[in-house]
Structure 1
Amino acid sequence: MLKSHPLLSLANNYVIDSPQPANISYWWNVGSLLGLSLIIQIITGVTLAMHYNSSTTEAFNSVEHIMRDVNNGWLIRYLHSNTASAFFFLVYLHIGKGLYYGSYKAPRTLVWTIGTTIFILMMATAFLGYVLPYGQMSLWGATVITNLMSAIPWIGQDIVEFIWGGFSVSNATLNRFFSLHFVLPFLLAGLVLMHLMTLHASAGSGNPVGTTSNIDKIPFAPYYVFKDLITAYLYMLILSLFVFFTPNLLGDSENYVMANPMQTPPAIVPEWYLLPFYAILRSVPSKLFGVIFMFTAILIILVLAITDFAKLRGTQFKPLNKTTYFLFVSNLLFLMILGARHVESPFIEIGQLGTAVYFLYFMLTSPTGSLVEVSFSQVFVNMKELFVKISNVIKDTLTNLLPKPYTLTNLLPKPHSYISLPIISMPEP
């Protein structure tokens, strides 16, 4: 039944009988946790949409109605908001694992490209959802981010007013954002299926060693199904701790104040998962170039498939690349901290330094590290070949210099050699 039915056979090939490398670690479980997070977000999001009112006058009150009057509404809303943060945390881990193990290299370049598209779409969906509660941070965050489009020469302001549906963030804006926020997760689910299908069609999952082969593989079920269940249990346990004990830890207190177009908050800060790119945006004095740098910082992860010249996949066996990788991760966390600070000195100058380090990793450090390590490995290969040639020359020279009976070959001990002694016959008594 599983192998004869058209749909069940597809599920069987991808979930049950799918051959996977026997040595993949728990880092590969992050993908299944991302799928679980997407399912949670779609279910809780559809449930919240049944009670949400996308009107500037009623949006904030409808969220309060969900929290206070709807049965278990508080649980559904907190689960939705905290899973969004967990979703991005896992995505950053997934991208970090891909950078470390070289998942962007052929034959998985298309998989990496689709994954980057999913990441961009996730950021757009998260921004739209952040506006929907229509608190102070929602209103002014929407105003600031949509105004970035005005940096586009000649048509920028027209694009902003088209997004708004008027001359400011209004009822039309909220309706549009709600519609898009409802539709985009289903588009994400379709892209995730494409991501998985492309992965299986290319070369399957990678492994910590970085090799691609069809040997030493085991079926996905029951081995990796059980392994995924372990991490899924731990993930739900940690997520439950956030939902039940500290649901507002990653939120902003300003968003519990009803939106007021006449009062600007002291500091307009996006969610934590957007802070590194917000820091890059603020570090560039020009508005236009700030927007260009921000979008380039996201899209630049696509160039690694072109700029990585190493023959060996990943950084696990490359000390130089491994060092630069961890410096890059530290710099990204540093930019995240700077993104939450006020736009003032010395944070502006430090942010500019962090932005330069961020782009240097992709444009200079990673390609140069690959070339240096390839050069070093080639040097060792050449040294080995040179040593073999020198040994052969010395052997031939000694063979030619020594007399014929005493050639180098004859001087070497022969295996199983023995000395034959003359037989002396003894006289009979």
Structure 2
Amino acid sequence: MSGPSLPENTPLPVRPAPSGGLLSWIDRRLPVISAFRQEYVDFPMPRNLNALWNFGAILTVVLVLMLATGIFLAMNYTPTTGEAFMSIEMIERQLPGGWMLRAMHMTGASLFMAALYIHLFRGLYYGSYKQPREILWLTGLVLLLMAMVTAFAGYVLPWGQMSYWGADVAGKAVGAVPVIGPALEHIMEGSDQLGDIFLHRFFVLHFVMAFGIVAVVALHVMALHVSGPNNPTGQPVPARETVPFHPYYTTKDVTGLVLFALVFVALAFLWPDLLSEPENYRPANPMHTPADIEPEWYFLPFYGLLQSVPSKFGGLVAAGASIGVLFVVPWLDPSPIRSARSRPLCRAGMAGVVISFVLMGLVGRHHAEGAWMIVGRIAALCYFGYFLVLLPLCARREMRRER
């Protein structure tokens, strides 16, 4: 992009509010219009952001879509073990447009998690967790946890075979926690067996958590606007290298959303069963255990890690630690160099993290048997080794070099 250069650290000019009319009258008394213009129209953005920065806008749009479709689905859903499955069948077969609402909701869940993982990888690769963006990083991880809880609760609600047995596996994993495990399992299930109380609690949890995510998203965006966006170089960007958010990045985000919508439509309307488990189209039967019990694809890496550890509690700790370690990354990596573009060892390590994550998903798919057990343990060592060994060593080396 060409144009006259501004002196360094010169802020972009802010367009004034409308000088007359109703909008001006409102803005003088409640300056929401000028505030919106300042934060979402004239907000200065680095001009070198790549396509990975589109996923923030994609996640926002998919979240709105999930809320809209979820509200309409909830109006026709019955959270009891005797009627949950049939209410889903009624939505898909009798409610006008119900099949489309459910297809959009199911596809949105999978693509939301996919976009969230890419968004997280971008933050790790370009060092978006470093000072002064620690709060931005931590709120993003809270959103990840909330999205996972919401997705799992939503997976239980259809009360198909995989819904029931997935909940059963999760309950037993929680029950394996020493001392407090049985009490936690009882609180989760509400009785000695999975029934109406459990399903009703998870329906409420799914619904409430969805709106809780909206609140944390608002906090996440506020943190972004306070600390400012990162960029691929990881270096501070002078004012002359910035452009206003609109029209430059609104246009870029719309382009990314159109491409994302093509994938969404293809999965929702052409291949609706590609991301779903056929076994879950059968009603829950506590007397018949499926041959292969496995969660949705976005939980498979954690399921594989859970299975790769000999004890149930150890596997639960490892699965929890795989996310917990992300919360301390800003302090494990105090290096002044942010972007992995300038850190060859970290760049290779990030490739190893991605490969390990995929391998752990394959281990979960194959139930950590035989050679897959060994693959899962090696992948887990590589995953944790990057955060606990490679990052601190690289940071120490780079800090000595900077001195």
Q: Same fold (TM over 0.5)?
A: yes
Matched AA of 1:208: P
Counterpart of 2:18 in structure 1 is: none
1:350 Cα deviation after fit: 1.8
Partners of 2:147 and 2:213 within 8 A in 1: yes
* Matched position secondary structure for 1:222: helix
1:342 Cα deviation after fit: 2.6
Instruction: Return the alpha-carbon distance in structure 1 between the equivalents of residues 164 and 345 of structure 2.
Output: 46
Residue 74 (structure 2) pairs with residue 55 (structure 1): no
- Figure out how many residues of one structure are paired with residues of the other and give that number: 377
Residue 233 (structure 2) pairs with residue 209 (structure 1): yes
Alpha-carbon distance change, 315 to 343 in structure 1, aligned in 2, over 3 angstroms: closer
1:313 Cα deviation after fit: 1.0
Partners of 1:85 and 1:273 within 8 A in 2: yes
Residue 173 (structure 2) pairs with residue 148 (structure 1): yes
Matched AA of 2:143: I
* Matched position secondary structure for 1:258: coil
Instruction: Return the alpha-carbon distance in structure 2 between the equivalents of residues 73 and 272 of structure 1.
Output: 24
Structure ID, larger Rg: 1
Partners of 1:55 and 1:171 within 8 A in 2: yes
* Matched position secondary structure for 2:328: helix
Q: Could you tell me which runs of 5 or more consecutive residues in structure 2 were left unpaired when the two chains were aligned.
A: 1-22
Matched AA of 2:198: T
Counterpart of 2:162 in structure 1 is: 137
Deviates more, 1:89-98 or 1:215-224: 215-224
Matched AA of 2:60: G
Instruction: Please point out which of 35, 38, 45 is paired with 1:13.
Output: 38
Counterpart of 1:177 in structure 2 is: 202
Deviates more, 1:282-291 or 1:188-197: 282-291
Counterpart of 1:88 in structure 2 is: 113
In the TM superposition, what whole-angstrom CA distance separates every residue of 1:227-283 from its partner, at most 9, and x where no partner exists? Answer: 111111111111001111100101111101110011111111011111111111111
Q: Any runs of at least 4 consecutive aligned residues in structure 1 with deviations exceeding 6 A, and if so which? A: none
- Output aligned runs, 1:310-325, within 5 Å: 310-325=335-350
1:310 Cα deviation after fit: 1.9
Partners of 1:303 and 1:362 within 8 A in 2: no
Q: Could you tell me which runs of 5 or more consecutive residues in structure 1 were left unpaired when the two chains were aligned.
A: 382-429
In the TM superposition, what whole-angstrom CA distance separates every residue of 1:201-226 from its partner, at most 9, and x where no partner exists? Answer: 12x11111111244122111111111
1:338 Cα deviation after fit: 1.0
Q: Percent identity?
A: 38
Counterpart of 2:62 in structure 1 is: 37
* Matched position secondary structure for 1:89: helix
Instruction: Return the alpha-carbon distance in structure 1 between the equivalents of residues 35 and 70 of structure 2.
Output: 28
Instruction: Return the alpha-carbon distance in structure 2 between the equivalents of residues 66 and 187 of structure 1.
Output: 26
Residue 289 (structure 2) pairs with residue 261 (structure 1): no
Instruction: Return the alpha-carbon distance in structure 2 between the equivalents of residues 34 and 14 of structure 1.
Output: 19
- The alignment's TM-score, normalised by the length of structure 2, stands at 0.91
Counterpart of 1:273 in structure 2 is: 298
Task: Give me the CA root mean square deviation.
Answer: 1.4
Counterpart of 1:22 in structure 2 is: 47
- Output aligned runs, 1:350-429, within 5 Å: 350-375=375-400, 377=401
1:143 Cα deviation after fit: 0.8
Instruction: Return the alpha-carbon distance in structure 1 between the equivalents of residues 159 and 36 of structure 2.
Output: 41
Instruction: Return the alpha-carbon distance in structure 2 between the equivalents of residues 111 and 212 of structure 1.
Output: 17
Instruction: Return the alpha-carbon distance in structure 1 between the equivalents of residues 78 and 37 of structure 2.
Output: 42
Residue 224 (structure 2) pairs with residue 199 (structure 1): yes
1:154 Cα deviation after fit: 2.1
Counterpart of 2:147 in structure 1 is: 122
Counterpart of 2:357 in structure 1 is: 332
Matched AA of 2:41: I
Matched AA of 1:120: L
Instruction: Return the alpha-carbon distance in structure 2 between the equivalents of residues 8 and 350 of structure 1.
Output: 55
Partners of 1:56 and 1:174 within 8 A in 2: yes
- The alignment's TM-score, normalised by the length of structure 1, stands at 0.85
